Amino acid sequence: MTTAAIAAPFSLAQVLGYVAFCLGVTAFWQRDDRRLKALVAALSLTYAAHFTLLGNPTAVASALISSVRAGLSIYTRSIWIAAAVVIANLIAGFAMVSHWQQVLPIAGAVLGTIAMFLLRGIAMRLVLLMGTCLWLTNNLLSGSIGGSALELIVGLTNATTIVRMLLAARRKPVVTPQV
């Protein structure tokens, strides 16, 4: 497929980016960690197909590993599994790196692993937001229309959800222990 065909707004590559966009916005609107993780797993699979068509192998590897990671993190918070996922991401990603831009999805996926396995709630979403910034940069440099829109909106949606969670926590009455 030619570069022009890939960049066409309604090419299969770009349409998959739009599907990923919808999944991502839905995922990061969730306040429930389990729903967020399940939708991120589906988003990551779609991203893998998207980046396959865009010819970005490190993003494909990172997206596939991210899908498995999101699924696993629903059922376990094992630091050992988190470490194995980080190592798998580093090995798979760096085996394919041919220039600096390709490090971005690897770093984003590593942050996502740390967030999903070791953090919860607002802290998890803040670290995921940092990963979103790395993926946004990758997507802009890769020519991903839907992916760039996705990461921009996911970042804004995630930030909005963080604010909503902070405000909800503030509204909860403080219970003092009775002596």
Q: What does the alpha-carbon distance between residue 135 and residue 130 come to, in Å, rounded to a whole number?
A: 9
Report the range of poorest mean pLDDT among 102-106, 141-145, 162-166, 172-176: 172-176
pLDDT band, very low/low/confident/very high, at 59 (cuts 50, 70, 90): confident
pLDDT at 99: 85
Looking at residues 83-102, what average pLDDT do you find?
90
Percentage of residues of the chain with pLDDT beyond 70? 93
**What is the DSSP-derived secondary structure letter of residue 30?**
-
Average pLDDT of the segment spanning 171-176: 71
Has residue 10 got a pLDDT over 80? Answer: yes
Please state, in angstroms and as integers, the Cα–Cα distance from residue 146 to each residue in 11, 24, 44, 98, 156, following that order. Answer: 11, 11, 13, 24, 15
Q: What is the mean pLDDT of the chain?
A: 88
Amino acid 123: pLDDT = 95
